[in-house]
Amino acid sequence: MKRILTLLSTLMLTLTLFSASVTAEVTKSDTHEGIEITVNINQAGAEELKTLLVGVGESKAQAIIDYRNANGKFVKADDLTKVKGIGDKLVEKNRDRITL
């Protein structure tokens, strides 16, 4: 009986470690290294904005579109800070993704 418990414990530990290894490999393969993600903030719709910009959800995406419709095209990326709910940190996080 003791041998069976030892065998089962060893088997469970091995499977747990193997499962963690497989999970780590899947996570690594999900990265998009070498792919440049950009979004034109003067043309993108709400879905594109919330999908491609870090920290932008549905309400901020709609606020960007509303501001753009009311005030015209953005001239520079920093103009996004004029949109309610968008600050300097959010613009900095997305600076490499923003095109005009």
Q: What is the domain range of residue 1?
A: 1-31
Q: Pinpoint the alpha helices (H) of 1-100.
A: 2-29, 46-52, 58-71, 88-94
- Output the average pLDDT for the chain: 82
pTM score, whole prediction: 0.66
How confident is the model at residue 36, as a pLDDT? Answer: 84
Q: Assign residue 46 a region (left: φ > 0; alpha: ψ between -120 and 50; beta: otherwise).
A: alpha
- Across 77-100, average pLDDT: 95
Residues 72 and 47 in one domain: yes
- Across 21-30, average pLDDT: 38
Number of domains comprising the chain:
2
Residues 82 and 44 in one domain: yes
